[in-house]
């Protein structure tokens, strides 16, 4: 596989995880520091199923998603009824616990040595089609009743409850869905890089995804996707200015939050209507005059 | 105001993107390379004028230039660069100059994998000089198998050079004693010379180098009738080892083995000293430079031994060492010497390929290296294990914060 | 022999707890007043630690001087952070989540500044800073930096409580912690209160940065220890600095206990379980006041 294809594939897969964070943090305002841990779970469980037990890829992925759902439900049950800060803390603790467990279970996971020799099952087709499906799914979710409920909860949770929305159930579903997105991305990534180690799934990764969502705009799916593509490509494109580029990137985020909190793209979405509007504004103004 | 701010942000992003237009060879390591290749290039120009200009031989270099392993990794670049300058000044290998392209792995496996792809597919490197980081070696092994460009490095974990089925990874080569050998060597010394029977071990369970050393150490100790009275672990970000050290001290061992990396070494020495641990502290080959003064209080290193690839006080190394120090303003460490050996082996293999310098030829030649005279001794590459047949290691101790040579040792005992 | 080990482990736990407590109290200042988790506190910690390092190596200041430099650097950095990262959001009455995002961004930014200035590997404070390394009492030892941290934490805490209870600024801060809007309606300059809180938080951060840097060596990622402060603040409860300090010490003791029993690898798992159980049983935190997320 050529170099550019390899890099694009990795970016596409990571973007799926970012979409998970988009749903959780962008749409619903839940600040989770453990999303990367779900990615790790997806990666390890599916890799172990295929390499150690010889299961076919689809089955392995289904099993890893199943386990993710169970764990996400468990974590969600314990924490979603309480405060924001607690949620952040518990997801953080969960992330650390998962990494600790993966490192400790050396016989199964290879521990610090990482898990290698994973066959390369992720084809470019699989990765890009997955990303496309993910985008469509999130798009549909936003437009649906469910998506509007999210906005309501995010703006004013108390009012949403009063309006009859089952906030707890809603949050649980979103939490599980975003965990599944992260896990699926993890599985795809494992079968692409052919090597995983526990250190890849720390809280800094989760935070990076949140930052990407806010960069593009928490209300703009297009913004998040484009933001993900740009920001995930940066380390590769700017290999040799690593520290400076991260610095500038942090400054950009601060500028955006301060000056344009809705993100670079605000609420702009890439739809047929917005595209036509982009090419036709001037005519209307002149006519009025 | 809003429009202006969007404009500023877009400009900033564009500026970032623009800086990417610089070619990869403008990498930070190039400041070293550029300064030193400028002179030989001028000298070599007159020689090359009489021959038709042959294309350069491109060798990739994957090192950690900005991550936690920088101290041990960047010295490989230095060692390689010294050798390249020497060779290019003499006309190159069979008339072809060497061009080294360096990428920073940032101690990140994914970065390393991407960089390797880039070196092979874009920069057309025929061979790659790898880092002294086991995790990266392990990750690169299957990728090298696929891309078929050999990597010679100092990744000491056997998993980086030998597949689970026992066959060697075709394109991975280790240029020094593996962790297995090092662990066994220092274990043999501890049991035979220090007469230790009960030993406690403290290792980083998130780091494959540390784990591999601990496992090898344990296996030899137990084989020779010793006991591991306590085994404690820590993780890469831990800075406080009081809990582990206290528990180990209570188990009453004769010695403590701690195969660690530069960051923890001063902390472990000093915290053990605080807790009143006076038994020998046995370290890994990463003890210098951070385990020596001034990074570590000399009072904390009065009873310690560690294995080292070379004897730094050996007068035969003095010349090269002085040249290195003049160029890079730092004393060479073990990895400088073993890095020089690994790179030297690579160069010898390339030279042996004559006019057909291909990755396959280089791979074949490296696996057949015999009696290469390196700083570490006479190196013969084992074709089945892709690492040197066991090289003796120097056992060192620290006196007043400075390293002191004790003797050469192997897993079987002292070198006669 | 066993009991000696246990006593030593208790001392180890308390020492670790003291380090965490100093960090946690600085963190909790902002947590109480502005109601969000200020991860940038880790950045303040890091910058102060390095400032102290420069004081110790380039200017060869003694321990006291190094600590003072750290405190000053911490206060200055904290105020800068407030201006750059939080002021705008506060004035726009932005949602809590924006504070989260800018605080972690500031943490990363300050880390990058350290990486660019000092390189990514690590530094040690000169070991000559402390003439005595450890104090020994019969079979037990306590390192001087730990003792220093313990003493400093107690003193700082004492001063803090005094400031909060007896001085105008302190009372204003406590009022602001209770209700920012009401406080401003009372005629108190909220901007001034917020800056004061950041100055105090920064001073504590600087102090903890320097002390932690001396005992644990410096690296640009040193600030990430702030997560311990985060844990202690949340578990300790909103509105009670004492609760936070106790939670931090408890965290230190629990960590040491877990390391000496099940090892460093599995400790996070147990801590996670403890966290969940604790939050289910006592959601307002150790000593805090019940506070539900108002919409």
Structure token pair of residue B65: 């230039």
C2-281 sits in which CATH class? mainly alpha
Q: Are the Cβ atoms of B142 and A252 closer than 8 angstroms? A: no
Min distance C125 CA to chain B CA atoms (Å):
8
Which tokens sit at B88? 């290019």
Provide the sign of the torsion angle of the four alpha carbons B137, B143, B147, B148, taken in this order. positive
The DSSP symbol for A155 reads: H
* Nearest-CB residue to C279 (from A29, A82, A155): A82
Burial readout C121-130 (b: 16 or more C-beta within 10 A, e: otherwise): bbbbbbbebb
User: Which domain, by its residues, includes B210?
Assistant: 180-308+394-414
Answer yes or no: do B368 and B320 share one domain: yes
- The reply to whether B152 and B231 lie within a common domain is no
What's the pLDDT at A82?
66
Q: Are residues B272 and B359 in the same domain?
A: no
Kindly state whether B235 is in contact with chain C, defined as any CB-CB distance less than 8 angstroms: yes
Query: Which of A151-155, B10-14, B124-128, B319-323 is predicted with the least confidence, judged by mean pLDDT?
Result: B10-14
Collapsed DSSP state (helix, strand, coil) of residue B97? coil
CA–CA separation, C69 and C64 (whole Å): 9
The alpha carbon of A146 is separated from its chain's Cα centroid by a whole number of angstroms, namely 19
Shared domain check, B193 and B79: no
How far, in Å, CA of B198 to CA of B211, rounded?
Answer: 19
| SS3 at position B207 | coil
pLDDT at B3 over 90: no
Three-state DSSP class for residue A85: helix
List chain A domain ranges.
Answer: 3-202
- For chain A, give percent helix, strand, coil, nearest 5: 80, 0, 20
Domain assignment present for B41: no
What are the tens digits of pLDDT across the range A165-194? Answer: 788 888 889 999 999 999 999 999 998 888
Chain B hits for C15, CB-CB cut-off 8 Å, are 242
Question: Are C69 and C47 contacting, i.e. CB atoms less than 8 angstroms apart?
Answer: no
Residue % of chain A over a pLDDT of 90: 21
Domain containing B301 — which CATH number? 3.40.50.2300
**CA-CA distance, C258 to C273, in Å (whole number)?**
13
Task: Give the number of residues written for chain B.
Answer: 416
Q: In this predicted structure, what is the pLDDT of residue A93?
A: 87
pLDDT: which is higher, A241 or C17: C17
Q: Does residue B348 belong to the interface with chain C, where contact is any CB pair within 8 Å?
A: no
Contact A261 C267 (CB under 8 A): no
Q: Which of A31, A86, A160 sits opposite C234 (nearest CB)?
A: A86
What string of pLDDT tens digits covers the 295 residues of chain C? 578 888 888 988 988 898 899 999 888 888 877 778 888 999 999 999 999 999 988 888 888 899 999 999 999 999 999 988 888 888 877 777 788 888 888 998 998 899 888 876 777 787 777 777 778 887 788 878 788 888 888 888 888 888 888 888 888 888 877 777 777 788 888 888 888 889 999 999 999 999 898 888 888 888 888 888 888 887 887 667 888 888 899 999 999 999 888 888 788 888 888 888 877 777 666 655 544 443 3
DSSP per position, B22-35: S-GGG-TTHHHHHH
Q: Are residues B155 and B200 in the same domain?
A: no
Does residue B36 lie within any of the structural domains? no
Q: Where are the domains of chain C?
A: 2-281
pTM of the model: 0.83
Confidence of residue B272 (pLDDT cuts 50, 70, 90): very high
Give bridge partners of residue B256 from the DSSP assignment.
Answer: B200, B281
For chain B, what is the domain count? 2
Contacts of C266 in chain A (CB under 8 A): 100-101, 104
Is B311 in contact with B391 (CB distance < 8 Å)?
no
B84 with B145, same domain: the answer is yes
pLDDT bin (cut points 50, 70, 90) of residue B21 is very low
Q: Which residues contact A164 (CB under 8 A, 6 or more apart)?
A: none
pLDDT of C263: 82
Say yes or no: B110 and B168 in one domain: yes
Higher pLDDT, residue C292 or A259: A259
- Alpha helices in chain C, H assignment, sequence order: 2-34, 40-57, 63-81, 87-91, 96-118, 144-166, 168-178, 180-185, 190-216, 226-236, 241-261, 267-281
Tell me the C-alpha to C-alpha distance, in Å, between residue C217 and each of B68, B396, C166, C268: 13, 25, 37, 23
Output A20 or C280, whichever has higher pLDDT: A20
Q: Are residues B67 and B144 in the same domain?
A: yes
Q: Does some domain include residue B338?
A: yes
Which of A33, B246, A190, A151 minimizes the C-alpha distance to C142?
A: B246
The whole-number pLDDT of residue B409 equals 92
A38 CB-side CA count, 13 A: 34
Q: What is the rounded distance in angstroms from the CA atom of residue A145 to the CA atom of residue C256?
A: 49
- B248 within domain boundaries: yes
Rounded to the nearest 5 degrees, what angle is found at the Cα of A130, between the Cα atoms of A126 and A131?
125
Distance of CA A43 to the CA centre of its chain: 14
Give the per-residue pLDDT at C286. 60
Look at residue B73 and tell me whether its pLDDT is greater than 70: yes
DSSP B384: T
Predicted confidence (pLDDT) at residue B25 exceeds the cutoff of 50: no
For residue C93 the two structure tokens come to: 């009455």
Min Cα separation C264/chain B (Å):
5
Helix intervals (H) in B90-178? 109-121, 134-147
The C-alpha atoms of residue B193 and residue B79 are separated, in whole angstroms, by: 34
Q: Is the pLDDT of residue B34 over 50?
A: no
Q: pLDDT tens for residues B335-350? A: 999 999 999 999 999 9
Closest CA to C246 of C184, C180, C154: C154
Is B19 part of a structural domain of the chain? Answer: no
pLDDT of residue A252: 81
């Amino acid at each position: 596989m050529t170099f550019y294809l390899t890099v694009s594939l990795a970016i596409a897969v990571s973007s799926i995880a970012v979409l998970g964070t988009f749903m959780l943090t962008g749409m619903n305002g839940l600040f989770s520091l453990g999303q990367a841990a779900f990615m790790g779970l997806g990666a390890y469980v599916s890799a172990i199923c295929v390499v150690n037990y010889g299961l076919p890829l689809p089955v392995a992925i289904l099993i890893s998603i199943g386990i993710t759902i169970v764990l996400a439900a468990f974590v969600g049950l314990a924490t979603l009824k309480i405060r924001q800060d607690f949620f952040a803390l518990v997801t953080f603790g969960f992330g650390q616990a998962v990494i600790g467990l993966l490192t400790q279970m050396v016989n199964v996971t290879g521990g610090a040595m990482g898990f290698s020799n994973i066959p390369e099952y992720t084809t470019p087709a699989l990765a890009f089609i997955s990303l496309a499906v993910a985008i469509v799914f999130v798009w549909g979710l936003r437009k649906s009743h469910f998506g509007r409920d999210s906005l309501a909860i995010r703006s004013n949770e108390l009012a949403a409850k009063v309006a009859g929305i089952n906030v707890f159930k809603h949050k649980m579903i979103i939490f599980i869905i975003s965990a599944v997105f992260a896990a699926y991305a993890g599985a795809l990534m494992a079968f692409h890089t052919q090597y995983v180690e526990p250190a890849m799934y720390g809280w800094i990764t989760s935070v990076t995804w949140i930052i990407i969502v806010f960069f593009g705009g928490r209300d703009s799916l297009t913004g998040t996707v484009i933001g993900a593509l740009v920001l995930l490509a940066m380390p590769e494109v700017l290999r040799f200015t690593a520290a400076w580029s991260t610095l500038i990137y942090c400054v950009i985020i601060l500028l955006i939050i301060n000056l344009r909190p809705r993100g670079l793209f605000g609420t702009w979405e890439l739809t047929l209507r917005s595209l036509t509007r982009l090419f036709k504004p001037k005519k209307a103004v002149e006519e009025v005059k | 105001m809003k429009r202006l701010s969007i404009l500023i942000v877009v400009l900033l992003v564009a500026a970032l993107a623009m800086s990417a237009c610089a070619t990869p060879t403008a990498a930070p390591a190039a400041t070293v390379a550029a300064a030193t290749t400028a002179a030989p290039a001028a000298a070599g120009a007159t020689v090359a004028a009489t021959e038709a200009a042959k294309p350069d031989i491109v060798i990739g270099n994957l090192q950690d230039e900005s991550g936690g392993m920088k101290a041990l990794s960047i010295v490989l670049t230095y060692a390689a660069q010294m050798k390249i300058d020497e060779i290019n000044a003499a006309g190159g290998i069979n008339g072809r100059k060497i061009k080294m392209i360096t990428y920073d792995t940032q101690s990140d496996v994914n970065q390393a994998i991407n960089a390797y792809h880039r070196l092979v597919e874009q920069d057309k490197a025929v061979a790659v000089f790898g880092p002294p980081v086991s995790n990266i070696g392990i990750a690169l092994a299957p990728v090298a198998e696929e891309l078929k460009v050999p990597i010679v490095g100092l990744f000491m974990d056997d998993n980086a050079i030998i597949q689970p089925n026992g066959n060697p990874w075709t394109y991975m080569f280790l240029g020094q004693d593996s962790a297995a050998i090092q662990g066994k060597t220092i274990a043999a010394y501890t049991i035979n010379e220090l007469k230790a029977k009960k030993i406690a071990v403290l290792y980083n369970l998130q780091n494959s180098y540390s784990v591999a050393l601990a496992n090898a150490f344990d296996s030899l100790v137990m084989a020779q009738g010793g006991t591991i009275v306590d085994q404690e672990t820590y993780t890469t970000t831990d800075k406080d080892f009081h809990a582990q050290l206290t528990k180990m001290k209570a188990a009453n061992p004769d010695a403590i083995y701690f195969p660690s990396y530069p960051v923890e070494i001063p902390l472990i020495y000093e915290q053990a000293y605080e807790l009143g641990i006076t038994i020998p502290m046995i370290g890994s080959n990463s003890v210098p430079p951070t385990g020596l003064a001034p990074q570590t209080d000399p009072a904390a290193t009065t009873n310690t031994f560690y294995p080292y690839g070379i004897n730094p006080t050996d007068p035969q190394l003095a010349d090269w060492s002085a040249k290195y120090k003049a160029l890079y303003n730092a004393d060479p460490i073990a990895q400088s010497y073993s890095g020089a050996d690994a790179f030297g082996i690579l160069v010898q293999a390339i030279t042996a390929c004559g006019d057909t310098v291909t990755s396959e030829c280089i791979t074949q030649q490296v696996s057949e290296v015999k009696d290469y005279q390196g700083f570490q001794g006479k190196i013969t590459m084992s074709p089945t294990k892709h690492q040197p047949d066991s090289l003796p290691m120097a056992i060192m101790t620290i006196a007043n914060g400075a390293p002191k040579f004790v003797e050469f040792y192997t897993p079987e005992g002292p070198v006669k | 022999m066993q009991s000696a080990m246990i006593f030593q482990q208790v001392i180890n736990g308390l020492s670790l707890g003291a380090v965490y407590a100093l960090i946690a109290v600085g963190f909790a200042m902002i947590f109480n007043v502005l109601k969000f988790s200020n991860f940038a506190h880790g950045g303040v910690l890091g910058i102060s630690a390095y400032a102290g390092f420069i004081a110790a190596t380039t200017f060869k200041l003694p321990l006291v001087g190094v600590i003072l430099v750290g405190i000053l650097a911490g206060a200055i950095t904290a105020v800068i952070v407030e201006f750059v990262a939080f002021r705008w959001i506060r004035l726009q009455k932005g949602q809590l989540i924006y504070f989260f995002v800018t605080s972690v961004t500031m943490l990363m930014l300050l880390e990058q500044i350290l990486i660019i200035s000092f390189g990514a590997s690590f530094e040690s404070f000169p070991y000559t800073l402390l003439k005595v390394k450890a104090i020994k009492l019969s079979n037990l030892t306590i390192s001087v930096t730990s003792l220093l941290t313990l003493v400093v934490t107690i003193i700082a805490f004492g001063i803090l409580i005094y400031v909060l209870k007896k001085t105008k600024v302190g009372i204003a801060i406590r009022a602001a912690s209770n209700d920012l809007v009401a406080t401003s309606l009372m005629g108190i300059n909220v901007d001034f209160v917020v800056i004061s809180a950041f100055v105090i938080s920064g001073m504590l951060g600087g102090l903890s940065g320097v002390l932690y840097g001396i005992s644990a060596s410096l690296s640009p990622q040193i600030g990430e220890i702030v997560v311990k402060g985060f844990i202690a603040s949340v578990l300790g409860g909103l509105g009670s600095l004492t609760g936070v300090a106790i939670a931090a010490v408890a965290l230190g003791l629990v960590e040491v206990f877990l390391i000496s029993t099940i090892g460093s690898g599995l400790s996070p798992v147990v801590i996670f379980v403890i966290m969940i159980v604790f939050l289910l049983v006592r959601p307002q935190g150790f000593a805090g006041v019940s506070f539900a997320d108002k919409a």
